[in-house]
Structure 1
Amino acid sequence: LANGVSKLHGDVSRAMWGKYEGGCPIISITNAQNWRYWADKQLYRFKEAADNYGIDDRKKYLKKRAFEIVADQTGKLFDPDVFTIVWARRFAGYKRAGLITTDEERFARLMSNTKYPVQIIWAGKPYPMDHPAISEFNQLVHLSKKYKNMAVLVGYELTLSKRMKQAADCWLNNPRVPREASGTSGMTASMNGAVNFSTDDGWIPEFVNHGHNGFVVPKANYDTMAVHEQDEYDLNKVYEILEGQILPLYYDQYDTWRQIVKNGMQDVRFAFDSNRMADEYYQLLYKAN
């Protein structure tokens, strides 16, 4: 008996290996994260008390504290009142760290939008011998010199990872479907009051209800697309949803935005906590053997 680490990963794995004789059954046990370690407990206390002012004040404080790291590393002063997008995780080709930057004109318009201003932070590490990923990281560093509201941070360990989730209003995740086995950074982002915005890969199909607790790029018939066609489709959808739905909600309908934050915090709390995952490994995998 073997397992995939999300329902989609199980589906993909069975499709890959099912044609071979003598293989073991493949089930799905979706990854999770330790809520006790990752979650901002004060945010949850305010949510449970239905204290919207407390939620807003706490999130602003968390952003302001995280932006001290941005200032220390880059000299750039980020504003806690400005919508902040964060892409932070391991750098790997299929995760497409720089996807949003590949349309240079559209990215320039996004970064200079005065009606709906944004700040974007990248952080993470490539494997030492993954030269394409290292190159992508360096390209983002170079591009960041052009924009005062773009930062690329180094030293991505546990502390910086937690601060980046606290800095984020929007946790951007755009892997090339179906390459992401699970992904877990978005789980901890929701535990810190960030809203997931993702392609529909890994754990995301089990979590995101578009417009309720996050935002998701609708799947196309990716199997029939070349890689560049998939990238172009996803890029266009990311901008359409970001510019047409997410930014207007944040700036013009903040009460609705806050409710999406709260819904994400609630929906991730137990279904994607490591206690559930450990129990499923025992009940479905170890005990079964």
Structure 2
Amino acid sequence: MATSFLPEPYSHPYEIDPKYAKSAVYFCCEFGIDQSFKIYSGGLGFLAGSHMRSAAALKQNLCGIGVVWTCGYYNQTRGEGREMAVQFRRKEYAFLQDTGIRFQIPIYGKLVWIGAKFLPSEVFGTVPMFFLTTDLDENTPEDRQITQRLYDNDPGRRIAQYTVLGAGGARLLEELGVDPEVWHLNEAHALSAAFRVLEKHDGQVAEVKKRFVFTTHTPEEAGNEKHSFQQLLGASFFGGLDEGTIRHAVGLTDDLFNHSLAALRLSHMANGVSKLHGEVSRQMWGHYDNICPITHVTNAQNARYWKDRGLERARENNDLEFLHQRKRELKDGLMRIVADQTGKLFNKDVLTLVWARRFAGYKRADLITRDAKMFQQLVRDSDRPIQIIWAGKPYPFDYGAIETFNHLIRLTTDLPNVAVLVGYELELSRTLKLGSDVWLNNPVVTREASGTSGMTAAMNASINLSTYDGWICEFAEDGVNSFIVPPADPAMSEADRDRHDLEGLHAALNDRILPLYYDDPDGWWALVKKSMDDVLPAFGSDRMAAEYYENIYA
């Protein structure tokens, strides 16, 4: 009989499935578990939250370690001129249990107190989870602020945050008296845990490698975080290890420390988060020596959390009439939010297109608007009308992305059928998927490692309109379960590529999607049903959580 590796009172509340008996700990900077628990920024957190739910459903011997971010990511609101505003507010979570565990770790040469909160499995249906904090009376005001904001804009404080998550998480496991067989770094934020293990085992790199696995979500080398090695030494990121031991462990020959490269050299297995991203990652890192093998486990989302039961019942019964009826009901909920936020009255019988995810340059939120004449023709067509909604959170100090957000607000102010929403968190994300007819996704190809929002949209009877990137390459059949913009020639200039994709989006909408929706409703709902059939179980997180045990942890 397989039993939980965690001691009472933190052990798993279920009998471990023997297939998943190997003990594992999952480190992540953010977890999107529930709307009430605001410790996530977006896709990485949504993915991690789904993983924790599926790991519990599959009865896996896994626990999660994260951070209680006192002010979360940020509250996204509107300013007096309707522009996006950023607010930081303290959050309290009565459902977290204080473990009473307190310990100190060195950060910038001084000892900082770390406390541990516990999230029991039964609260949100996850595996047992621990969340670290420096917001303790024992600490100075400066040290209490280390865990105040997710992805703090101060580089020095971010290093301190990574030290809390990694070295602090490793120290917590020591306090619990456990040494899991698998230490899973979901992104390299918790890499300092590897150096804690290295220090504990007297510099024996093999002891680290046999425990650690690494998931990378970043398909460009420039997007992988780097710091000065001397800065990291000064921040106590490596604990008490001497410089020679550290350099030897990660093959460092200069002062530039690449966190992802170090994780690849301290793990025995790594993975990208889609088939395409796995290929891109092997090309990106393959010329470095002494890295571990890189495979892929395609990201997925938890269907039990995300999908609407009524839509799923219609799918199971092949009842396209009820599928249409239920979708109209769900669109009404989204229309009310649009009216409440913007004063615009949308129509649930009009095709509704949604772009909603993190605002970042490569995701090209405004792409469809960049030809003013084409955009105006699209949104002012009275014969085949369309409604468009944008939502998403830029990084709070990414002023370029914030300007794109505000530009869209200004651009659409006088358009009654186009809206920009604020407050993009779990619940708004779910409502947008329930209420959308078309889910727009147009990143620059190969720059979206996976993307998962389109998966949960498809679960809820929304059709993907996408460039051919990330998970879409494994799912899409153009015109059968989705609509795909033909890939641009890689030799194109950036401007020509964007123009190609812009014209591809408008062509898909004007020539294929709008005619099908309005002129052939039976064909439309058959395509919706096919999309729903195809997205599960392949892109449900039960499959993903099982694959991590079978292909990565093994």
TM-score (structure 2 length as normaliser)? 0.51
> CA-to-partner distance for each residue in 1:69-109, whole Å, 9 max, x for gaps?
00000010000000100001111100000000000000000
Partner of 1:275: 542
Q: Structure 1: how far apart are the matches of 2:398 and 2:280? A: 25
Q: Structure 2: how far apart are the matches of 1:190 and 1:4? A: 22
Q: Give the one of 72, 75, 82 matched to 2:350.
A: 82
Q: Which has the higher helix share?
A: 1
Decide which moves more: 267-276 or 49-58: 49-58
In the alignment, is residue 146 of structure 1 matched against residue 407 of structure 2?
no
Is the partner of 2:295 in helix, strand or coil? Answer: strand
Partner of 2:61: none
Deviation at 1:151, TM superposition (A): 0.3
Is the partner of 1:122 in helix, strand or coil? Answer: strand
Q: Structure 2: how far apart are the matches of 1:226 and 1:11? A: 23
Deviation at 1:220, TM superposition (A): 2.5
Q: Structure 1: how far apart are the matches of 2:482 and 2:273? A: 21
Q: Structure 2: how far apart are the matches of 1:50 and 1:276? A: 24
Q: Within 5 Å, which residues of 2 pair with 1:133-212?
A: 133-212=401-480
Q: Structure 1: how far apart are the matches of 2:487 and 2:539? A: 23
Q: Give the one of 325, 338, 345 matched to 1:57.
A: 325
In the alignment, is residue 41 of structure 1 matched against residue 298 of structure 2?
no
Is the partner of 1:210 in helix, strand or coil? Answer: coil
Report if the CA contact (8 A) 2:489-2:497 is conserved.
no
Q: Give the one of 235, 245, 257 matched to 2:524.
A: 257
Partner of 2:288: 20
Q: Counterpart amino acid of 1:27? A: T
Q: Structure 1: how far apart are the matches of 2:286 and 2:494? A: 25
Q: Within 5 Å, which residues of 2 pair with 1:70-109?
A: 70-109=338-377
Q: Counterpart amino acid of 1:136? A: T
Q: Structure 2: how far apart are the matches of 1:263 and 1:16? A: 35
Q: Structure 1: how far apart are the matches of 2:400 and 2:276? A: 27
Choose 1 or 2 for highest CA Rg.
2
Q: Structure 1: how far apart are the matches of 2:292 and 2:551? A: 14
Q: Structure 1: how far apart are the matches of 2:283 and 2:317? A: 46
Decide which moves more: 171-180 or 12-21: 12-21
Deviation at 1:6, TM superposition (A): 0.3
Q: Counterpart amino acid of 1:239? A: H
Report if the CA contact (8 A) 2:320-2:526 is conserved.
no
Q: Counterpart amino acid of 1:95? A: K
Deviation at 1:34, TM superposition (A): 0.2
Partner of 1:112: 380
Q: Structure 2: how far apart are the matches of 1:275 and 1:97? A: 30
Q: Structure 2: how far apart are the matches of 1:232 and 1:13? A: 27
Q: Structure 2: how far apart are the matches of 1:229 and 1:18? A: 30
> CA-to-partner distance for each residue in 1:88-146, whole Å, 9 max, x for gaps?
11111000000000000000000110111000000110001111110100001111102
Structure 2 unmatched runs, 5+: 1-268
Q: Which has the higher strand share?
A: 2
Q: Counterpart amino acid of 2:518? A: Y
Q: Counterpart amino acid of 1:228? A: A
Q: Give the one of 220, 232, 235 matched to 2:502.
A: 235
Is the partner of 2:330 in helix, strand or coil? Answer: helix
Partner of 1:30: 298
Q: Structure 2: how far apart are the matches of 1:234 and 1:139? A: 20
Partner of 2:62: none
Q: Counterpart amino acid of 1:276? A: R
Q: Structure 1: how far apart are the matches of 2:288 and 2:315? A: 50
Deviation at 1:20, TM superposition (A): 1.7
Q: Counterpart amino acid of 1:72? A: D
Is the partner of 2:282 in helix, strand or coil? Answer: helix
Deviation at 1:50, TM superposition (A): 2.1
Is the partner of 1:24 in helix, strand or coil? Answer: coil
Partner of 2:552: 285
Q: Of the two structures, which has the highest relative contact order with CA contacts closer than 8 Å and spacing of 6 or more?
A: 1
Partner of 2:131: none
Deviation at 1:226, TM superposition (A): 1.8
Q: Structure 2: how far apart are the matches of 1:261 and 1:53? A: 12
Q: Counterpart amino acid of 1:93? A: G
In the alignment, is residue 121 of structure 1 matched against residue 389 of structure 2?
yes
Aligned length, in residue pairs: 286
> CA-to-partner distance for each residue in 1:7-66, whole Å, 9 max, x for gaps?
010111111111222222110100000000000111111121122221111000000111
Report if the CA contact (8 A) 2:307-2:460 is conserved.
yes
The CA RMSD over aligned residues, in Å, is 0.8
Deviation at 1:269, TM superposition (A): 1.4
Q: Structure 1: how far apart are the matches of 2:442 and 2:273? A: 18
Q: Structure 2: how far apart are the matches of 1:227 and 1:221? A: 11
Shift >2 Å, 4+ stretches: none
TM-score (structure 1 length as normaliser)? 0.98
Is the partner of 1:283 in helix, strand or coil? Answer: helix
